[in-house]
C-alpha cells in the first residue's frame, strides 16, 4: 500500500514537470547527446575535458536516454523514478523508529514538496536514494552490499564520503567487527574502474568541476567566506512560496523529531553526516547551488514524521477523552493541510516553471543567426549550449580548462587571453562576473551585435569578424 500511495503523486508531479529546462542539467545532457551521436563523452566536440561532477548520474542518463528518444524527458523520468525510490527507501530506514502512518506522512511530504522537483536533471535524487540505501544496509549490518552502495554513492557525488565517515564512527561506537578484507574488493574495483576511465579518456583522475567548486568558494563572488553556502533565504520563496505556515510547521516537526530520536544509531549517523557535510561546504565556502541541500530536506522530512509521532504520543496520554479527540482531529487536519498545501504549491510551480527564458530563445536565435562553427562564451552555459548547438567557452570554467582558476583569482578578463570566442553573451547591466567582457568591449576587441535585441542582454561579436 505504501508504494502505491507514494508513486501516485510522484508520477503526476513528474508529468506536470516534464517540460522543465534546468540550466545546469543541460550540461550533463549535452555530454550525453554528443556521446549518443558518436562524438565522444564531451561537451565540445574534440575537447576531452571532464566537467561531469557525477559519473554515475551520467552513466544512468546514457542508459535511459538510449531508450527514450527525447533526452530532456529521459532526464526528467530518471529524476522522478529515483525520487520515488528515495522516498520508499527512507521509509524502510525510518520504519524501525517511526510508525507506518507517520512514515507515510514523511514519504508523501518528500514527494509532494517543491524542492526535489527543482533539482530534476541533476544527480540529487540519485544521491538521496543512495544515502537511504546506505543507511538501510548499515542498520541491518549488511556490509558486503553496503560497500558497493557506498562506492556508488561516492561516484554520484564525492561528498558522499562523509556518510561513510559517519557510519564508520558509529560502527566503531557499537563495537561491530571489522568487515572481511574481501568485502572491500568490489567497492575498490568500482572506484578504480571509474578513475582509470577518467585518466585514460580525459587525462585526469578527477573531473575539473571538483576543483572549480573550490575555486568558486575562494573567489567570494557567491558570498565572502564563510557565508556562501549559508545563504539559503531564497529557499523560503522558491520551495515554500513564502508560506510561514508551511516553513515553520515543517521545521518545528523536524526539530522535535530529531530530538525525540535521541541517541539512536540512525540519529547519530544522520546528524554526524550532516555536520561533516555542512562543515565541508561552509569551510570551503562552496556556492549555495540548490542541488547541494538534498540531504537536509530528505532527512528533515523524515524527522518531521518522527516529530509528529512524538507529539501524537504526548496527546494520547491526555486523560480527558474530549481533549484527546479534539487534539487528534486537529492534528490529522493539520498534517493533511501541510501535505495538501505542499502538493498544490508543487503542482503550480512545476507547471509554471517550464522553460529557462530567455536563454532558450537566445540559444535558438544564435543557432539560426550565426555560423555553425562559431564559438560562444557566456557565464551560464547550460540552456545556451543545448539550444545554440555551438562550441561553448564557459567563462566560469565548468567545461573550459583554466577559467575556474581565474575566477578564484578574481581576474575576470584573463580568460580572454586564452580563448578567442566569436560571440560573447552578457547581461545588461553586466554581472560582476562579466567585467572582462565590458573591458574587452571598451577597447574595441568586442563589438555589440547590431541585430540582437533581447532586453536585459547584450551579444558581442569579435571585432575582427565584423563585416565578414
Same domain for 247 and 372, yes or no, is no
Give the end of a domain, one of 319, 352, 385: 352
Same domain for 206 and 243, yes or no, is yes
Same domain for 406 and 445, yes or no, is yes
Write down the pTM of the prediction: 0.96
Contact present, 460 and 426 (Cβ < 8 Å): yes
CA atoms in the 13 A half-sphere facing the CB of 223: 17
The pLDDT value given to residue 355 = 61
Task: Provide the H-helix boundaries in 140-287.
Answer: 143-156, 161-173, 185-202, 208-219, 233-238, 244-260, 265-283
Same domain for 325 and 414, yes or no, is no
Same domain for 148 and 252, yes or no, is yes
The pLDDT value given to residue 321 = 83
CA distance 284 to 216: 9
Rg value, the chain, Cα:
24
Same domain for 22 and 123, yes or no, is yes
CA distance 459 to 443: 16
Domain total in the chain: 2
Contact present, 119 and 75 (Cβ < 8 Å): no
Same domain for 132 and 251, yes or no, is yes
Same domain for 331 and 445, yes or no, is no
Same domain for 271 and 389, yes or no, is no
Same domain for 123 and 45, yes or no, is yes
The pLDDT value given to residue 45 = 96
Q: Describe the chain by its helix, strand, coil percentages, rounded to 5.
A: 65, 5, 30
CA distance 73 to 69: 8
Which range of residues forms the domain containing residue 410? 359-465
Give the end of a domain, one of 352, 382, 402: 352
Same domain for 256 and 395, yes or no, is no
Give the end of a domain, one of 302, 332, 352: 352
Same domain for 374 and 237, yes or no, is no
Give the residue ranges of the chain where pLDDT is below 70: 1, 353-356, 467-468
Tracing cell 575535458 back to the chain, one arrives at 49
The pLDDT value given to residue 198 = 97
Amino acid at each position: 500500500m505504501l508504494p502505491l500511495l507514494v508513486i501516485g503523486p510522484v508520477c503526476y508531479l513528474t508529468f506536470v514537470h516534464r517540460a522543465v529546462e534546468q540550466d545546469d542539467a543541460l550540461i550533463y545532457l549535452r555530454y550525453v547527446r554528443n556521446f549518443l551521436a558518436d562524438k565522444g563523452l564531451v561537451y565540445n566536440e574534440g575537447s576531452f575535458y571532464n566537467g561531469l561532477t557525477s559519473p554515475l548520474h551520467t552513466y544512468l542518463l546514457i542508459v535511459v536516454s538510449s531508450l527514450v528518444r527525447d533526452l530532456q524527458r529521459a532526464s526528467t523520468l530518471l529524476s522522478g523514478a529515483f525520487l520515488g525510490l528515495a522516498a520508499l527507501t527512507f521509509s524502510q530506514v525510518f520504519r524501525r523508529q517511526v510508525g507506518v502512518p507517520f512514515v507515510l506522512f514523511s514519504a508523501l511530504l518528500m514527494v509532494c514538496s517543491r524542492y526535489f522537483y527543482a533539482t530534476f536533471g541533476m544527480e540529487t535524487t540519485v544521491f538521496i536514494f543512495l544515502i537511504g540505501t546506505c543507511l538501510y544496509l548499515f542498520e541491518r549490518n549488511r556490509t558486503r552490499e553496503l560497500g558497493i552502495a557506498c562506492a556508488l554513492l561516492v561516484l554520484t557525488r564525492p561528498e558522499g564520503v562523509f556518510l561513510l565517515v559517519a557510519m564508520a564512527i558509529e560502527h566503531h561506537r557499537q563495537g561491530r567487527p571489522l568487515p572481511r578484507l574481501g568485502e572491500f574488493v568490489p567497492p575498490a574495483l568500482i572506484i578504480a574502474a571509474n578513475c582509470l576511465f577518467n585518466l585514460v579518456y580525459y587525462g585526469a583522475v578527477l573531473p575539473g568541476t571538483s576543483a572549480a567548486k573550490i575555486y568558486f568558494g575562494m573567489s567570494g563572488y557567491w558570498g565572502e567566506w564563510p557565508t556562501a553556502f549559508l545563504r539559503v533565504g531564497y529557499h523560503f520563496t522558491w520551495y515554500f512560496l513564502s508560506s510561514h505556515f508551511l516553513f515553520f510547521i515543517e521545521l518545528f516537526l523536524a526539530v522535535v523529531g530529531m530530538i525525540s530520536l535521541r541517541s539512536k544509531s540512525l540519529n547519530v549517523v544522520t546528524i554526524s553526516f550532516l555536520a561533516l557535510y555542512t562543515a565541508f561546504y561552509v569551510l570551503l565556502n562552496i556556492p549555495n547551488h540548490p542541488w547541494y541541500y538534498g540531504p537536509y530536506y530528505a532527512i528533515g522530512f523524515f524527522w518531521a514524521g518522527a516529530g509528529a509521532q512524538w507529539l501524537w504520543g504526548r496527546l494520547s496520554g491526555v486523560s480527558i477523552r474530549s481533549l484527546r479527540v479534539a487534539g487528534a482531529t486537529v492534528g490529522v487536519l493539520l498534517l493533511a493541510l501541510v501535505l495538501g498545501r505542499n502538493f498544490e504549491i508543487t503542482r503550480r510551480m512545476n507547471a509554471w516553471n517550464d522553460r529557462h527564458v530567455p536563454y532558450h530563445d537566445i540559444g535558438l536565435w544564435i543557432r539560426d543567426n550565426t555560423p555553425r562553427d562559431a564559438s560562444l562564451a557566456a557565464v551560464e552555459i547550460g540552456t545556451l549550449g543545448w539550444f545554440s548547438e555551438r562550441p561553448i567557452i564557459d567563462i566560469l570554467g565548468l567545461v573550459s580548462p583554466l577559467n575556474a582558476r581565474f575566477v578564484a583569482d578574481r581576474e575576470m578578463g584573463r580568460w580572454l587571453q586564452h580563448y578567442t570566442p566569436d560571440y560573447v553573451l552578457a547581461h545588461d547591466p553586466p554581472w560582476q562576473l562579466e567585467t572582462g567582457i565590458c573591458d574587452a568591449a571598451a577597447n574595441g576587441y568586442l563589438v555589440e551585435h547590431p541585430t540582437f535585441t533581447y532586453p536585459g542582454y547584450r551579444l558581442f561579436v569579435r571585432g575582427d569578424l565584423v563585416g565578414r
